Amino acid sequence: MITLLGAWILKQLLTGMGLVETVTHAFSNLLVTLHYGRRPIMAVLRKQIYFTGLESLKIIVIISLTIGIVIITQIISLVGTNETLMGRVLVWLVIRELGPVLTAIIVIARSGTAIATELGYMKINNEIESIEALGIPAERYLIMPRVIGVTASVVILTIYFEIAAILGGFIVASLGWHVSFDKFAQSIFSILTIKELGMSFVKSLFFGLFLSAACCRNGLGVGRSATQIPQAATKGVMQSLFLVFVLDGIITLVSLL
Amino acid sequence: MTDTANDIITAEKIAWNDLFNDATFAVARGSITVIITPKEEVDAWLVRLILGFVETDRGEFSIFGAKPTSLPENRLYELRQRIGIVYANGGLISNLKIWENVTLPLSYKGRMNNAEMETLGVQVLKRAGYQGKLMQLPGHTPFHQKKAAGFARAMLMDPELMVYESPLLGLNQEERRAFMATAMQFHGEQEGRTSLFISSNPEVLPMLKDARVITINQGQQS
C-alpha cells in the first residue's frame, strides 16, 4: 500500500516537473521569438487567443451572469435583503474562488480538449516532424503560443467572468428586491481589496499556464495509433482539472500565511 | 570529414531492421542521385535519417560532414534549413492553409516582407503545378496538389540539398513528367545544388538519365 502510494506520489511529482519544464520553456521561447520567427509564431498566438479567449467569451458571460443571479437569490432566500452580506458573499465566492476556477474549467472543456486532440492528430500524421524538418523547433512554434495564448485568455476571461457575475447579482437584486446600485456597489467595494484581486489574478495565471501545459504534453504524448488521440484528450482534461483544484488549494493556503 | 568535402552525404555499412544491411554509398555535392530502395517505408526512413530524426541500427551516417543525431539542437535546425524535402504526400500541416504552409519557412526566417513573399510564393506555386485555392486547408486538396504545394514550399527554401521522397507516388504519367521536369530545372538553377531522389519505384530511372543510381536491395546494397 505504502509502495503504491509512494509510486503514485513520485509519478505526480515527475508529471509536475515536466509541466514546470514546459512552462519555463514557453517563456524562454517567447524571448527568442522576439528576434526570430516572430511572424508565424505570433499568428499561432493570435489564433489561440481568438479560439480560447474570444470564442469562449459568450458562454463565459452567460454562465457567470447565471452564477451571480443564483448566488444573490440564495442569499436573499436564506437571510433576506442584506446588501452588506450580498457584497461580501459575491466577493468571497466569485472573486476568490468561482471566477478563476470555473473559467479554467470552461477553458479546459472547450480548448484543452481541442489542443490535446489537435496536437495528437498532428503527431500521428507526422506533421510535427514536418515542421521540425523545415528547421522550425516545434516547441517554439506549437507549444509556446498555445501556453501563452491560453494563459492570457484565462486571465482575461476570469476578469469578464467576475464582472458579469457581479452584474448578474445586481440585476436580480435590483429587479427583484429593489436594491439600489449605490448600496450594492458600496457593499462590494467595502470588502474588495487589492489582495482579493491579486489572488484572483495569480490563480487564473497559474491555472492557465498549467492547464495548457498539461493538454499540450498529453497531445504530444500520442504514439502511433489514432485510438490514443481521445485517450490523450481525456487524460489532458483530467490532469488539468486535478491541477486546477490542487493549485487552487495551494494558492488559497499560501495567501492565508 | 568537413562540410566542404565533395560528398554531401556519406553512409558506411548502415543497416535498418531486416530491410537492408551494410549499405555503403555517398551522394556527391552538385549531383543528381537516385536511391532505389526495396520498399516505400525505406524511402520515408531514409528521409528521417537525413533529417536526424532516427539513427541507423549499425554503421556511420553523415550529412554536410556531421552526424545529424549528435548535433546540438540549434545546429540541427540550421542543418535542416539547408535541406528541402518534397514528401511523398506533400508533408503539409493540416491546420494551416495552403498559402500559410508554403510560406511558413520563409515567414519564419523573416527575411522578406509580405509583398516579396506574395510575389515569390505565387510564382513558385505556379511553377510546381499547384492549381487549387491558396486559402483552403490541405484536407480539401487532392493528393497531387498537396504534393505540388509541398514541392513549392521546398523550392522556396532555396536549399543546397533537395530530397524527393517517393517522387512518383500518387501522380499520373503527365503529372510525373511535369514534376520531374521542374525538379531538373530547379536543380540546374543553382550551381552546387544536390538533388537526391529516393524511390522504391524503378520507373523513376528513365526520367533521370544522367543521374547516379544507388540500389539498396533487401538485405544488401549494390
Residue A180 belongs to some domain of the structure: yes
Q: Tell me what the mean pLDDT of segment B69-75 comes to.
A: 93
Asked if residue A13 belongs to a domain, the reply is no
Residue B219 has pLDDT above 80, yes or no: no
**Reduced DSSP (H G I as helix, E B as strand, rest coil) percent helix, strand, coil of chain A, to 5:** 90, 0, 10
Q: What is the mean pLDDT of residues B77-81?
A: 94
Residue A18 within a domain? no
Tell me the one-letter amino acid at A195: K
Beta B220-221 vs B212-217: how paired, if at all? Answer: antiparallel
Interatomic CA distance for residues B102 and A69, integer angstroms: 51
The better pLDDT of the pair B19, A212 is held by A212
Query: Which residues between 13 and 52 in chain A have a beta carbon less than 8 angstroms from any beta carbon of chain B?
Result: 36-41, 43
Residue A2, in any domain of the structure: no
- Residue A168 pLDDT: 94
Confidence of residue B220 (pLDDT cuts 50, 70, 90): low
A residues 202..231 contacting B (CB < 8 A): none
Q: Report chain B residues whose CB lies below 8 A from the CB of A126.
A: 91
Which residue from B178, B166, B215, B211 is spatially nearest to B38, judged by alpha carbons? B215
The DSSP output letter for B39 is S
What is the mean pLDDT of the segment spanning B96-107? 94
Range of weakest confidence among A4-13, A137-146, A239-248, B212-221? B212-221
Question: Measured between CA atoms, how close is A222 to chain B, in angstroms?
Answer: 17
The pLDDT of residue B5:
66
| B108 neighbourhood in chain A, CB within 8 Å | 36-37, 39-41, 134-136, 141
Positive or negative, the CA dihedral A41, A42, A47, A50 is positive
Chain A residues in contact with B83 by the CB 8 A cut-off are 133
| Closest C-alpha among B91, B172, B178, B106 to residue B138 | B91
Contact B33, B163 (CB under 8 A): no
The pLDDT assigned to A228 comes to: 93
Residues of B in contact with A39 (CB under 8 A): 107-108, 110
From the number of C-beta atoms within 10 Å of its C-beta (0-12, 13-18, 19+), residue A181 rates as exposed
Residue A207 domain boundaries:
39-256
User: What value does the CA radius of gyration of chain B take, rounded to a whole number of Å?
Assistant: 17
Q: How confident is the model at residue A37 (pLDDT cuts 50, 70, 90)?
A: confident
Residue B129 above 80 pLDDT? yes
pLDDT band at A257 (very low <50, low <70, confident <90, very high): confident
* Closest alpha carbon within chain B to A129: B53
Residues of B in contact with A43 (CB under 8 A): 100
Q: What pLDDT is stored for residue B209 in this prediction?
A: 82
Cα dihedral A224, A226, A232, A237 in deg (nearest 10): 160
pLDDT value of residue B2? 46
C-alpha distance from residue A16 to each of A23, A112, A208, B138 (Å): 11, 17, 15, 36
Q: Which residues of B touch A127 (CB under 8 A)?
A: 91-94
- The pLDDT > 70 percentage for chain A reads 100
pLDDT of residue A250: 96
Nearest by CB to residue B93, choosing from A43, A131, A135, is A131
The answer as to whether A12 is a domain residue is: no
Interface A:B, Cβ pairs < 8 A: 65
Q: Tell me the shortest Cα–Cα distance from A53 to chain B, in angstroms.
A: 19
User: Which segment of A13-22, A36-45, B41-50, B109-118 scores lowest on mean pLDDT?
Assistant: B109-118
Q: Quick: pLDDT tens for A46-86.
A: 999 999 999 999 999 999 999 999 999 999 999 888 888 88
Q: Are strands B194-199 and B161-165 parallel, antiparallel or unpaired?
A: parallel
Average pLDDT, integer, range B10-35: 89
> Which residues in chain A are closer than 8 Å to B110, comparing Cβ atoms?
36-39
Residue A137 has pLDDT above 80, yes or no: yes
B interface residues, A as partner, C-beta within 8 Å: 48, 51, 53, 73, 77-81, 83, 85, 87, 91-95, 100, 104-105, 107-110, 153, 157
Q: Among all chains, which residue has been given the C-alpha cell 530491410?
A: B19
- pLDDT of A159 > 80? The answer is yes
* Burial zone of B20 (CB within 10 Å; 0-12 exposed, 13-18 middle, 19+ buried): buried
* A128: closest chain B residue by CA: B93
Which candidate from A41, A122, A132 shows the least CB-CB separation from B94? A122
Instruction: Tally the domains of chain A.
Output: 1
Considering chain B, what percentage of its residues have pLDDT values greater than 90? 77
How much is the average pLDDT of B172-194?
93
Residue A20 lies in a domain: no
Give me the pLDDT at residue B91, please.
Answer: 94
Strands B161-165 and B32-36: unpaired
In a domain, A249, yes or no: yes
Query: For B158-176, what is each residue's pLDDT tens digit?
Result: 999 999 999 999 899 999 9
pLDDT at B69 over 80: yes
Of the listed ranges A163-177, A210-224, B18-32, B39-53, the one predicted with least confidence: B18-32
Q: Give the three-class secondary structure for B26.
A: strand
What phi and psi values does residue B200 have, to the nearest 5 degrees? -95, 0
| Spatial CB neighbours of A244, under 8 Å, sequence gap ≥ 6 | A101, A104, A105, A108, A207, A210, A211
ipTM here: 0.90
Work out the average pLDDT over A84-97.
Answer: 90
Domain assignment of residue A5, yes or no: no
